[in-house]
Structure formats: C-alpha cells, structure tokens
Structure 1
Amino acid sequence: MTTDTSQNTDKTATDEAAGDAAATGTATLHRGLRARHIRFIALGSAIGTGLFYGSSEAIQAGGPAVLLAYLIGGAAVFLVLRSLGEMAVNNPCAGSFGEYATRYLGPLAGLTTGWTYAFEMVIVCIADITALGVYMGFWFPDVPRWIWLLAAIAIIGVLNLFNVKVFGELEFWLSLVKIVAIGAMILAGLAILVLGVGSGGDGMHIGVSNLWSHGGFFAHGAQGFILSFAVVMFAFGGTEIIGVTAGEAEDPGKTIPGAVNSIPLRIVLFYVLTLAVIMSLNPWQEIGSDASPFVQIFAGLGIKSAAAILNVVVIVAALSAINSDIFAAGRIMYGMAERGQAPAVMRRLTRSGVPAMTVGIMIGSLLLGVVLNYLMPDRIFLIISSIATFATVWVWLMILATQYASRRKMSREEVAALTFRVPFWPYGQIIAMVFMAAVMVLLAFSESTRIALIVGAVWLVLLSVVHFLWVRPRSRA
C-alpha cells in the first residue's frame, strides 16, 4: 500500500515537473502509453494498405506460395522486433533505434537510421492519405478529392497535439475496429467454405484445393516465390513503432516485451489466415482482377452492401495508419534533435509533452502529398509503396546490425543482466541481416520497384553529405 502511494506521488510529481518544464521550454515526453496502447499502435501501423490492397499484388506475384512467404517474412520481422525489444527494455528512450544506432554504430549510422525511418513514415502517410481520397470518392464521386484529404489531415493533426494518452486511446479504438473487421472477414470466409463448399456462382470451385489446383502451390515457380518478398515485406512495415513508443511507455520493462512477443504472431495470423481463406474461395489468378479480395468474401455471402462495408473498414484503416505514422515520425525526429542530428526546434514540446513542431512537419509533408496526388494520380501510389519498402527494410537491417554490435560490446555480466534477450543469438541475427539485404536486392529485378533503389541510394548519399557538412562540425564545436 505504501509502495502504491509512493508511486502515485512520484508520478504526480513527474507530471507537475513536466508541466513546469514545458513553460520554460525544457519539457519532456510523458510516459502515458499502456500495454494495450502500444500493442494496438503497432497493429494499427502495420495493418492497413499492405493488407487491404497490397495483398492482391503479392498473390499475383507468388500465387498460393505467398502464404509461405508471409510466414518466412514474419519470422524475420520477429527477430527484428526481438532485437529492438532487447535494446528498448535495457534503455528506453525517445528516438529509440536512431539513438541505439548512434551509440553502437556511430553518428552517421544513427543519422541515416533515424531520418530514413522518418522518411518512411512520410511516404507511407502520403500513400494512405491518397488512398483515403479514393475511398471517399465511393460515396461522394462529385466532391473533389482534395477536400477529403485536407479534412483528414486537419483532424488527425489536431488529435496528435493532445496528450499521448489521448493518442493512445484513439489508436486503440481505431485499430480495434480494423481487427474486428478482419476477424469478421475470416469467419465469413470460413462459413462459406464449411457450409457452402461446391461450385461458386460463376461455376468456380470453392474449397481449399484452390491452393494447389491452379498451377500448383508454387504457381510461378521459385522465381515468383522469391520476387513476392519485395511486396510481402512492405506489409509488415510499421511494426518497429514498438521501439518508438518506449520513451512514453508507463512501464517499458513489461509493456515492450508483451507487445514484441504478440504483435508478429497476430499480424502473421491476420495475413496468412485471411489470404488462405480468400484463395480458397476464389482461384488465386482471379483475385484482384475485378474487385478487392475482401469484397469478394462478403459478396460470396450474398451481402449486397459488401463494397460499402469494406469502404468503412479501409477508411478506418487509413486513418489509423496515418495517426500512428505521424506519432512515430514525430517522436523519432524529437530524439534526433536531442542528439543534435536534427534542428533544435524539433525539441520543442507543448505543456502536454507533445513535439508540436514535428507534428507540424508531418502535416506539411501530407500537404505535399496532396499536390503530388494531383500532379500524377496514376503513378504516385506504386512509386511511394516501393520507396517505402526500401526505407522499411533499411531500418530493419540497421536495427539488427545495431543489436548485434551492442551485444558484442557487452561483458558477460551485462549480458546476464538483460531481462529480455533476443533468441537464436548470434546466428538468428546474422541470417536475418542476410535476408533483409537480399530483399533490398530484389527491388532491382522489377521495373516497377527499381526506382526505389535509385531514390534510396540518393537519399542515403544526401544524408551522408548532411552528416559531414553540418552534423559533425556542429558536434565538434
């Protein structure tokens, strides 16, 4: 009883100190995110465009074998998150993996990791806000798309200026809607398989045999299976936000391990179960040709309003993903500003402990997305998604390399003191790093994704120039 009172007193004192500090310009981030917040923030960031639309492209690339690709990719991402979790529990901080990369791999690595993650969040937000305008056009085809984009940007921007607890609650409920909807889709599909196995309305067979009856499980051979990873890995992007939340978690030692251990399994189950059901209901080569695969599930049940139901879900999914991405980019930029790797103005916080300047930067980036969407509406989504894949995999590779370097520098006593150690050390990390490097190489084998490598290379060169001409001289001063 005394301990609880002491903890509450300490928390109150911390909050009061943070408020006083805000008035003097030295506010700090508040620890207001609970375990359920962190888990659903990660789910919200990862379950969105990659599942609802990217899944069709993945199926066309790899056929039914894409299910195996999601399992393998999920296993690699699990090692990434466990590596990040080990560092985040041992040293929870704002900026997370950017801070760790700076400490164990050097300032240049930290700069490229942090800014590449912020860049990833920006371009993913642009993709989601573009998709949101398309979704709203379903109900209001005569209303200009930019009106919906501006309205969504304004609403989400304001919400991100509230206390982190408000953000956590909002993201919890938005993500919950998505999860319930996906669960309903899976159950609906299983109902069709169990109760109505036979010929579909167009004479197509419905059943799990669709997974191997149309060209085999590896319908496009080993080449198609391997190339599908370039699309599959994009779907898992956003899960690393778990590390970003460490600086504002109420109890990082408990919330981070719980989130890290549960998120990959949940996401893999969502993707694998959903796509397995979809490809059982329809031959894989028909998926995505005329309608969203999720619409096909509801249409199979005879629900006439299938498109409208899906539209609600994808709108919520887009809002949730944008909400999480603005939060994550803001916190990573705040952490870099603390280390002198970003302008000092990004360290300014409101009285509620929110980095308002970084939120403003993200809003400005989304406005740029509105302009790009207007200039090249037919090409922007494919270009952005491929660039996002490069940025995502680069950040994962750096997280793995950072954890590997940090563990190598630890003494036996320090390793023994770790409360959340990564499994399969060190071979699991080495294999995962080789896998991530291979995925980046795969981007070069497709004309539609090759631009990602070009943009990625130019981006890294620019960051290196900034480091040597601006960051390093300032750190020596």
Structure 2
Amino acid sequence: MRTENTGLSRGLNSRHIRFIALGSAIGTGLFYGSSESIRAGGPAVLLAYLIGGAAVFLVLRSLGEMAVASPSAGSFGEYANRHLGPLAGFLTGWTYAFELVIVAVADVTAIGVYMGFWFPEVPRWIWVLAAVLIVGALNLVSVKVFGELEFWLSLVKIVAIVAMIVVGIVVIALGLGTGHVHVGIDNLWNNGGFFAGGIDGWVVSFAIVMFAFGGTEIIGVTAGEAESPEKTIPGAVNSIPLRIVLFYVLTLAVIMSITPWQQISDSGSPFVQIFAGVGLKSAAAVLNVVVLTAALSAVNSDIFAAGRTMYGLAERGHGPAAMRRTTPDGVPWVTTLVMIGALLFGVVMNAVVPGEIFLIIASIATFATVFVWVMIMLTHLKARGAMSPEESAALKFPAPFWPYGQIVTLVFMAAVLVLLGVHESTRVALEVGVVWLALLTAVYLLAVRRRQHRPAVGTAPADTPVAEERAEIAV
C-alpha cells in the first residue's frame, strides 16, 4: 500500500448512492431494534416512526442543500467547521465517527443473534469476529467494489421486505396461523389499545426509533466520492419519505397484525419471529438470511462512512495525518483499519455481556446520532441565514419549509436528547455522551488548537524583525 495521500476516488454513481443510502436506512434498527421500540410503545410506535421520519427528512434535505452546493468528504463536519467554527467541526466530525463505531457494534451484534437461529450452541462472538474481518477486508479493495457490494446487499433487502409485506398481507387476509396466535389488523388496537404502552412508553420508543434512522446522513458523506453530486444527492434524499412509509410503517404494521405486539421478544428479529409463530418455518429461515444480509450491509456502510469521515477530519488537521493515507485506488486504508480495530471491541463486548449489549449500544448511538443531526441543522441555519436573497434563489437543491421547518426539527431533536436523560433505561446514553463531548473539547483545546497555532519549524512570529525581513525578500 502506498503511504502518501492520493486523494479519494470518485467511483460512486447514482445507483450506488441510492442503495448506500438504503443500506443505512434499512438495517439493524428495523430488522432487530424494532422489537425494542414495539415493546416500549406498542402499536403507536408506527406514529413515532412517521414523526421521526419526517424530522429526519428535513435534516437530510438541509444536508442535501449543503452537499449539492459544496460536495466534500466528511461533509457535515467540514460544513460545521466552516460556518460554526473549528470546535464545532471537530465535535461534529468525531461524534459522527463515534456514532458509526457504536452503530457498527450494534450491527455486528445483531449478526451474532441471527446466526443463533441456526447455531444456538455456538458463542455469539465467533460470528461477530468473522463478520468484522470479512466486511473489513472488502472495504479495503476499492470504492467501486464497496458500491457494488452495497448495491446487491441492499437489493436483497428491498426485494425481501416487499415480498414479506406481500406474504404478510396474504397471511392476514386468509387468517393463516397455528391456532395459538390471532392474526388480523385488529391486533393493532385490540391488545390494550393503539397506545398500549401508554404515552410514557410511546415517548420512550423514540429513543430506538431515532436509532433506526441513524446512518441516513451517509448521503452527505458520499458526496465526496459521487461522480455527479448535483444529480445523485437529490434523488437519494427525496426517496426517504417512501422508504419510511414502505420499509418501516407498513412493515411493522404487518408484523404487529400477524403477531400481537406483546408477544414480540428481543431473542431474534421480529421478521423471523412472526413467520415462525404462524408455523411458516421455511419462510422464517429465508427471512433470517435476509436480516443477516441486512446487518452485513449496514456494517459495510458503517465502515465506509467512518473511514471517509476520519479522512476528512485529518485533511482539516483535526486528526492524525496518517489517516489521510490512501491506496492507489483511493481507499483511505488507515481509517478503515482503525474502524476494524474499533469493531473488535464489539467482539469483546459480545463475549462478556451478550445479553445486555444491544440496548446500551442503541441508546448511546441515539445520542451521537441526534447530536450530529442537531449540528447539521445549526450549520444549515447559519449557512442559509448568511446568504443574500439572490444566493438563496440560486440554490440548486434548497431545503423546504425554510426556516420554520428547520427550527421545529431542531427543537424536536433537542427534546429527544432530553428524553434520553429522563428515563433510567436510556440515561447511560446521555451520561456517556456528555463525557464524550467534554473529552473531545479538552482534546481540541489542549492539543488540536495549540498545534494549529504553533509556528512551523524555521519560522518566526509575524511581528519579529526576522519575519519582516523575510516578507520583504518574498516581495
């Protein structure tokens, strides 16, 4: 591998961008984490997904506006650096990298859970380790290989989800089942009501709901390696509402119609549980292959995005210079290896606390995710607010509902962060998040800013006679 920086390769086309976005939006949060949100909020979790999805759509449209206007690697960290200041850019970039590490640990954890469907006697950490090594190696090849891999993995997920919805509707329409489980859409309101978990449970469900949408902001990161950002980014962002309705709301409505919500457990994917529960064992096995593919796809996207984010941080002097090293194909191999090393921590966690790791990780990831979204919205408000009417009118992909939609979304995201600290089950996320931000701020003030203000070797302060003499010679 070459050690010098050759720059990132623009090898992602429109097809790749769309499916990379899908790979991030449709992952462990839907296939596994949805069981946690269903148990907390009951059927009303469908409303939580709609509200959360609307807020995320506005975040992505705001990010899309900036990405189309100025495509760059590690985009929102760089935008925050430009419009809110270096500290904001440092916090945003490294918190996003932290988010992806935590989300990736959740994704590889889910892989271990899914493999337990066929091999319950094999320790989970073995499957987690295998997934980290395989997907990590594939990410070291080239960005086009990554794009193609993500395209096919995401395609499998989409086809499977559509097929599951169709089969689920048939099961509901024909009343298929084992006789032990009632099947019908009245399951959405007959088992304690639509708000069966109470308003409190419904509010708590937002912590997992927002985790499910985490990673969709990868659309902005791909701008740095997209062939035509002005064409690919808008298409990917605008398809978000359809994904939310089809892949989240409709899918979970089918799940809770086939199996009463209180019977869904966290022992595996609810997608697999519903068909096993009505006696369709072969369908359950096929779906387990699908959810396994979905988790591999999500890990693939996580490693890609984290690597590119750390590369962007290094380019701005906010990270070690070694992170700018790329392969001849333009892959930032150092950052990819860093990500693989971080995921090995997930292997250890799955060996030590396999039963508790997912909820803890999901809550911490929610804090990091929502913090990044808050910074994206603040950056957009500052950037758009500084534009003249003529500049705003010239935007190729302006965010809608300016500025009121952005303000409402920002308030909603702040409320989710407060929510994490109110409830005991998710309070650890806020505690870890506050400590993380405090450590980052200390690192920036004590190391990064001091290094950036330090005169280079062989130079003198600007107000010394030596500096003045050199300036005269240069002229």
Common fold by TM > 0.5: yes
Query: Do structure 1's residue 110 and structure 2's residue 55 form an aligned pair?
Result: no
1:204 is displaced (CA, Å) by 4.6
What is the distance in 2 between the residues matched to 1:150 and 1:106? 39
Among candidates 370, 382, 389, match of residue 393 of structure 1: 370
Partner Cα distance (2:208, 2:451) in 1: 40
Q: Which residue, 304, 314, 322 being the options, matches 1:327?
A: 304
Partner of 1:62: 41
Say which of 231, 249, 255 aligns to 1:278.
255
- Identify the match of residue 189 of structure 2 among 206, 212, 225: 212
CA distance in 2, matches of 1:339, 1:246: 17
Deviation at 1:450, TM superposition (A): 0.5
**Which residue of structure 2 lines up, in the alignment, with residue 138 of structure 1?**
117
Which residue of 1 is the match for residue 71 of structure 2? Answer: 92
Match of 1:411 among 353, 365, 388: 388
| Match of residue 341 from structure 1 | 318
Contact conserved, 1:185 with 1:297, CA < 8 A, in 2?
no
Could you tell me which residue of structure 2 aligns to residue 429 of structure 1? Answer: 406
Matches within 5 A, 1:246-325: 246-288=223-265, 292-299=269-276, 302-325=279-302
Measured after TM superposition, the shift of residue 325 of structure 1 is 0.1
Q: 1:308, CA displacement in angstroms?
A: 2.1
- Deviation of the 1:376 alpha carbon: 2.0
The count of aligned residue pairs is 454
- In 2, the alpha carbon distance for the partners of 1:215 and 1:133 equals 33
Q: Compared with structure 1, are the counterparts of its residues 160 and 51 closer, same or farther at alpha carbon in structure 2 (3 Å cutoff)?
A: same
Tell whether the 8 Å contact from 2:259 to 2:277 is kept in structure 1 after alignment. no
Q: Distance in 2 between matches of 1:376 and 1:221?
A: 30
Q: 1:221 to 1:376 in 2, by over 3 A?
A: closer
Normalising by structure 2, report the TM-score. Answer: 0.92
Paired AA for residue 185 in structure 2: V
C-alpha distance in 2 between matches for 1:318 and 1:203: 31
CA deviations on 1:318-352 (whole Å, 9 max, x unpaired) are 11111000000000000010100011110011100
Are positions 1:240 and 2:217 aligned together? yes
Match of 2:143 among 140, 164, 170: 164
Return the TM-score normalized by structure 1: 0.91
Counterpart Cα distance in 2 of 1:292 and 1:152 = 18
Contact 2:273 2:284 in 1 (8 A): no
CA distance in 1, matches of 2:439, 2:24: 27
Contact 1:175 1:317 in 2 (8 A): yes
Which residue does 2:467 correspond to in 1? none
CA RMSD between the two structures: 1.8
**Which segments of 5 or more consecutive residues in structure 1 lack a partner in the other structure?**
1-21
Q: Secondary structure at the match of 1:225?
A: helix
Q: Taking structure 1 as reference, are residues 120 and 189 closer, same or farther at Cα in structure 2, changes over 3 Å only?
A: same
Q: What is the percentage of aligned positions where both structures have the same residue?
A: 72
Write the distance in 2 (CA, Å) between the matches of 1:167 and 1:137.
27
